[in-house]
Amino acid sequence: MRRLATVGASVVLLALSAACGAQTAPGSAPPPQSQSELPSETPPADPSLPGEVPGGAKLVTKLDAAKLPEGYPRKVWTEGDGSRIGLTAQEGGCGRASVEITDQHSPDKLVLTLVETTPAAEMMCTMDMRYPAFTVALNAPLGERTVVLDYQQRKS
């Protein structure tokens, strides 16, 4: 009987504490009911454009990123006179991103290959995503050429 009374008292205390926690101070708004109702100070970021473009850089508008995996960043910019090109890559866990200039001699296009290198041996890796920025020097300014982004996965 004593055990039943203890359980009953616990239930009453739990109900009272829940009711007290739900109260709001006079003149204040009630707490949001769901994540979708939480106020947002900044609009959601475009997932294809993580990171910041350096000051003075110009975003590349003639871009062919059809070979990139879905969700991969598609941010490319030029710096200075256009002979330096920067881009945002994606890596995660044990993977490491890099960029290679595949073809810069064409008058119509510049081809950059984004490479994700992962260890050949299986190992425990974190499950985080990182968006490193890379800058590469070109032989000549980009000008009106289209930037073509290619993608490869490699094992180290």
- Say what the pLDDT of residue 73 is: 94
Structure tokens at 95: 């993977």
Better-scored residue on pLDDT, 54 or 76: 76
Residue 140 pLDDT grade (very low, low, confident, very high; cuts 50, 70, 90): very high
Other Cβ atoms less than 10 A from the Cβ of 97: the count is 19
**Residue (of 82, 76, 155, 156) closest to 112 by Cα position:** 76
Residue 52 pLDDT grade (very low, low, confident, very high; cuts 50, 70, 90): confident
Sheet of 58-59: strand order equals 58-59, 76-79, 84-88, 133-137
Please determine, for residue 138, whether its predicted confidence score (pLDDT) is greater than 70.
yes
Residue 38 pLDDT grade (very low, low, confident, very high; cuts 50, 70, 90): very low
Q: Report how far residue 57's alpha carbon sits from residue 49's, in angstroms, rounded to the nearest whole number.
A: 15
Coil, strand, or helix at residue 9? helix
Q: Report how far residue 15's alpha carbon sits from residue 64's, in angstroms, rounded to the nearest whole number.
A: 60
Within the chain, residue ranges assigned H as helices are: 2-21
**Residue (of 133, 136, 131) closest to 147 by Cα position:** 136
Least confident of 33-42, 85-94, 124-133: 33-42
Please report which helix (H) or strand (E) contains residue 111, including its range.
strand 109-118
pTM of the model: 0.67
Domain residues of the chain, as ranges?
58-155
Please determine, for residue 48, whether its predicted confidence score (pLDDT) is greater than 60.
no
Classify residue 36 by its DSSP letter: G
**Mean pLDDT for all residues in the chain:** 79
Q: What pLDDT digit, counting tens, does each position of 55-68 carry?
A: 899 999 999 999 99
